[in-house]
């Protein structure tokens, strides 16, 4: 038998399909992947270390820069961790606002995931449609907190400000239009034969393996494991809403992608319910009475929420001073990336882009 | 069984619809998309409202704001207020911290500059008061304080007297 030499191909760090500065060293046998080595750290900013020299409130803007596509969820995770520490009761109104903005953030993140996935696989039109809805969401975020991506809106004890008047008609219009927009994504991307040929049966991830490697989010649910923290261990007021946890069947790229589409519909349901319940609430404060300078008691706390990419956990240690002694973030994209080598092995070069895109990584979060 | 290609045709039908919808492009330099009231843009400082408490300086996570003050007659007076915009995160913590709403935003996002040093924005610059003026103000304040103390002493004495009477 003639033996051929292995070929090493460098994908990234400046590759558009890696969704940021991510490098993948591919060892190839012909066109087949023998091994895929991820190289991380090109976007490392040391956010966990920076947090140690900031006060508890000042860390919030830095959490925005982890998963910058769903910044509200990062805010929420950190803030709830600190609230657990100092034991503060958040006003009802603020809880509803938090649910609304975090589900909006989840939709915005999934819009990018689906749109960029279509782009990765060569469908530019499919990229534009989800981005159109994301643009509307960002306009609304701008009304709420003045920023389009790095919100810093959620505060320890509530939110920075109540929802503005002009937000309500905008969100109502959005909620009305959104289901038909998701139908459009279904028609454009999901139903497309080329897209299906590129994703169905590719990069299969068995459920046991996904659980073993503690994967989470749509990547785990795509493999058929019904685990969502909003249902399994409701935080905030998530137990008050009626929604389903969509799961896939085969654990291939298509299921992971389709899980996100279905999740967008569920998030839409949650926002609708939250908005209805919010409008029945009387006007009230959106901030609990929290001291200006936070000094949590000595100790540590771990709190996790269901982020857009998976389970987002914050571990905060306090030594009794105004600055956290240590902040560690369990970043879902980073942990979901663990299995990239095994998922890529045996597939062709062209499938690497499909597999990587289906995991939906954000490098701000991977490198932290 | 679906016919192969029907998905593609359905997709084309969706894009075709878009041809007849209204155009949404904004011709940017000529027209500007309306910005919301809470927009985080350029900063403005109301010098008269500022009490130089330094809350914004302490709230900033990135040490963007520097403030120079002088104390005249036990009252802080703002001399210079600088923001190093190149390090600003536009998180809004400084504006939120201001107890007098002196710091705010302007709806302007065109903050790019050609030179690096232009990114240091001076929001307030005042000359320190001349020595005579300072002395005059301090003397006036001392006079006022003495007068107030005298008045308070007189009032306090009578109040005490009343109380003593009531007690008897």
Interface ipTM: 0.81
A4 pLDDT exceeds 70?
yes
Residues counted in chain B: 168
Residues of chain A contacting residue B5, judged by C-beta atoms under 8 Å apart: 193
Q: Are A138 and A149 in contact (CB under 8 A)?
A: yes
Q: How far is CA A65 from CA A365, A368, B88, in A?
A: 8, 8, 14
Taking only the tens place, the pLDDT of each residue in A112-143 is: 999 999 998 888 888 989 999 999 999 999 99
What is the average pLDDT across A161-169? Answer: 90
How far is A5 from chain B, CA to nearest CA, in Å? 40
- Closest partner residue to A188 among B11, B59, B105, by Cβ? B11
Give the separation between CA A211 and CA A155, rounded to whole angstroms: 33
Chain B residues with CB within 8 Å of chain A CB: 4-5, 7-8, 10-11, 13-15, 35-40, 59-61, 89-93, 96, 105
Torsion from C-alpha of A189, A191, A196, A198, nearest 10 degrees? -30
Where do the H-state alpha helices sit in chain B?
Answer: 6-17, 55-59, 93-97, 131-167
Percent of chain B with pLDDT over 90: 15
Residues of chain B contacting residue A160, judged by C-beta atoms under 8 Å apart: 92, 96
- Closest partner residue to B10 among A60, A166, A191, by Cβ? A191
Tokens describing residue A254: 């298509």
What is the average pLDDT across A106-110? Answer: 93
The confidence band for A339, taking pLDDT boundaries of 50, 70 and 90, is: confident
How far is B89 from chain A, CA to nearest CA, in Å? 7
B65-72: strand order across its sheet: B65-72, B75-84, B120-125
Phi, psi of A27 (to 5 degrees): -100, 125
Q: Which of A11-15, A151-155, A260-264, A286-290 has the lowest mean pLDDT?
A: A11-15
What is the average pLDDT across A313-327? Answer: 92
Residues forming beta bridges with residue B84, ordered by sequence position: B120
How far is A312 from chain B, CA to nearest CA, in Å? 22
Residues of chain B contacting residue A150, judged by C-beta atoms under 8 Å apart: 89-91
Is A59 exposed, middle or buried, given 0-12, 13-18 or 19+ CB atoms closer than 10 A?
buried
CA angle B7, A103, A284 (to 5 degrees): 150
B58 pLDDT exceeds 70?
yes
Taking only the tens place, the pLDDT of each residue in A71-83 is: 999 999 999 999 9
Give the separation between CA A251 and CA A195, rounded to whole angstroms: 16
Residues of chain A contacting residue B8, judged by C-beta atoms under 8 Å apart: 192-194
Give the separation between CA A42 and CA A22, rounded to whole angstroms: 7
How far is A66 from chain B, CA to nearest CA, in Å? 14
Tokens describing residue A130: 């989800």
Task: Give the up-direction half-sphere exposure of residue A36: CA atoms within 13 A in the CB hemisphere.
Answer: 28
Is A67 exposed, middle or buried, given 0-12, 13-18 or 19+ CB atoms closer than 10 A?
buried
Mark yes or no for CB contact A164/B96 under 8 Å.
no
pLDDT at B165: 44
Residues of chain B contacting residue A64, judged by C-beta atoms under 8 Å apart: 91
B161 pLDDT exceeds 50?
no
């Amino acid at each position: 038998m003639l033996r051929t030499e292995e070929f090493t191909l460098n994908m990234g760090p400046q590759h558009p399909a890696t969704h940021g500065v991510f490098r993948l060293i591919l060892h190839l046998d012909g066109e087949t992947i023998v091994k895929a080595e991820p190289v991380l750290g090109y976007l490392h900013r040391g956010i966990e270390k920076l947090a140690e020299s900031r006060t508890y409130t000042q860390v919030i803007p830095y959490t925005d820069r982890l998963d910058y596509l769903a910044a509200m969820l990062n805010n929420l995770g950190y803030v709830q961790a600190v609230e657990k520490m100092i034991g503060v009761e958040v006003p009802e109104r603020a809880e509803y606002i938090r649910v609304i903005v975090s589900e909006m953030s989840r939709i915005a993140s999934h819009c990018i995931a689906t749109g960029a996935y279509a782009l990765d696989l060569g469908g530019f039109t499919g990229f534009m449609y989800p981005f159109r809805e994301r643009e509307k969401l960002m306009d609304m975020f701008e009304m709420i907190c003045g920023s389009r991506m790095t919100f810093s809106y959620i505060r320890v004890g509530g939110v920075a400000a109540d929802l503005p008047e002009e937000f309500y008609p905008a969100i109502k219009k959005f909620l009305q239009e959104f289901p038909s927009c998701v139908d459009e994504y279904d028609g454009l991307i999901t139903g497309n034969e080329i897209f299906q040929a590129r994703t169905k049966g590719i990069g299969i991830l068995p459920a046991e393996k996904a659980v073993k490697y503690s994967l989470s989010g749509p990547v785990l649910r795509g493999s058929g494991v019904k685990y969502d923290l909003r249902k399994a261990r409701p935080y905030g007021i998530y137990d008050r809403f009626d929604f389903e946890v969509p799961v896939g069947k085969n654990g291939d790229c298509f299921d992971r992608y389709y899980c996100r589409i279905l999740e967008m519909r569920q998030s839409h349901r949650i926002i609708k319910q939250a908005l209805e319940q919010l409008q029945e609430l009387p006007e009230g404060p959106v901030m609990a009475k929290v001291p200006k300078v936070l000094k949590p008691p000595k100790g540590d706390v771990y709190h996790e929420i269901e982020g857009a990419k998976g389970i987002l956990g914050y571990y905060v240690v306090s030594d009794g001073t105004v600055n956290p002694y240590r902040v560690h973030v369990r970043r879902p994209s980073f942990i979901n990336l663990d299995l990239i080598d095994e998922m890529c092995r045996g597939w062709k070069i062209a499938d690497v882009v499909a597999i990587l895109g289906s995991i939906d990584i954000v490098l701000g979060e991977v490198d932290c | 069984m679906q016919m192969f290609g029907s998905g593609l045709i359905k997709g084309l039908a969706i894009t075709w619809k878009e041809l007849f919808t209204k155009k949404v492009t904004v011709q940017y330099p000529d027209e500007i998309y309306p910005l919301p009231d809470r927009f985080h843009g350029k900063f403005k400082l109301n010098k008269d409202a500022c009490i130089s408490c330094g809350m914004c300086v302490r709230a900033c996570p990135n040490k963007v704001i520097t403030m120079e003050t002088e104390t005249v007659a036990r009252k802080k007076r703002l001399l210079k207020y600088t923001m190093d915009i190149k390090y600003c995160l536009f998180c809004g913590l400084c504006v939120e911290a201001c107890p007098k709403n002196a710091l705010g935003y302007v709806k302007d996002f065109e903050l790019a500059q050609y030179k690096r040093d232009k990114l240091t924005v001076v929001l307030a610059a005042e000359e320190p008061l001349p020595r005579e003026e300072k002395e005059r103000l301090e003397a006036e304040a001392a006079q006022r304080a003495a007068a107030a103390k005298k008045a308070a002493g007189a009032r306090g004495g009578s109040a005490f007297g009343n109380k003593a009477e009531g007690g008897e």
